[in-house]
Amino acid sequence: MGDDNAKLLRSIFATAVAAADPALMLAKYLPPPGPGRNIVIGAGKAAASMAVALEAAWPDVNIEGVVVTRYGHFLSTHKIKVLEAAHPVPDDASEAAAREIMALVQGLTPQDQVIALISGGASALLAMPVPGLTLADKQLVGKALLASGAPIGTMNRIRQQLSAVKGGKLAAACAPAKLITLAISDVPGDSPAIIGSGPTWYEGADYRLIATPQLALEAAAAFAEAHHIKAKILGDALEGESAELGRSMAELALAAREPVLLLSGGETTVTIGQTKPGRGGRNTEFLLSLAIALNGAHNIWAIAGDSDGIDGTEDAAGALIYPDTLTRARAAGIDPVACLARHDSYSLFAALNDLVITGPTLTNVNDIRAILVS
């Protein structure tokens, strides 16, 4: 039964991620081709897969463009140039990509049309400092923000102030061409001003969300219901400390009076503090905290992972917990409480062979968490 439940949870996670696949979603949001130049720009972890989907939808349209995605997320395209840069801290390639995209949209006319493909990760991948700052300055701020535990919305608002492309500045550079943004949301609340730090957002912009965390959770819930499991979506925008959310979710699961699948999304944080951390991400930290709080409850399994396939900076999307997770960890000589204290959750789940490794999914609708009470 335990293996069946784990397999079911893996399928639920995969279903949620698949619901945000640009190949399935993008075409229906595309406008008709414009009468002048049709230019494609973009940035984010899904930029390459979105570019591939756009080319498939417009096979006979004369398009040109440049998008930038994270290292390891490259896909081959025919007409749109795909660049790679660093995430979550920008590098020289991030700045070069931003400058190349800004150069491409100079001198456009009202007959031209720009399609912007924006997804999570764009903040780091488009790094063009405002005059007076350097890329090194932005890197220092970026590292400090990542360690601070600040919510993604707060981090992106700060990033906007330091950037020559974020906060609608890329949109301004496209004028007077017609600009349409197709976006995949990875932020709580789906605010266009926050997704990727809003490079193409301004009041009145033509901004089209093609995939969101809520849609992914609804797909997961529908999958569960089709397998005769009651599903409850607790919210698509949960924030706060990963370990605290793990404890509060344990309370909900332990209080359940009937079999149920508890689904949630959003983006939690891990505040590192002064001690040197171990290996981990917000999803594995959530799961380890959840497992400790459940204390071996015999009827509860869970999965949590980042929909982009990368939890923090590790090679796993997330992990699974079983009723015997703590028992197996201690039998292997691992202290779960000590692991959580030093933010070393990845190491524990790696030792138990309970990591969920998908590789880059080429989309991003934030974290997917599912707790199965059987």
For a pLDDT cut of 70, what percent of the chain falls above it? Answer: 96
Radius of gyration for the alpha carbons in the chain, expressed in angstroms and rounded: 21
129-183 per-position pLDDT tens digit:
877 677 676 677 767 776 776 776 777 777 776 688 999 999 999 999 999 999 9
pLDDT at 59: 97
Residue 346: pLDDT above 60? Answer: yes
pLDDT at 161: 67
Domains of the chain (ranges; CATH) run: 2-18+214-373 (3.40.1480.10), 22-211 (3.40.50.10180)
Cis status, amide bond into 35, omega within 30 of 0: no
Rounded average pLDDT over 8-30: 97
> Burial level of 342, CB count in 10 A (0-12/13-18/19+)?
middle
CA angle 280/50/129 to nearest 5° reads 65
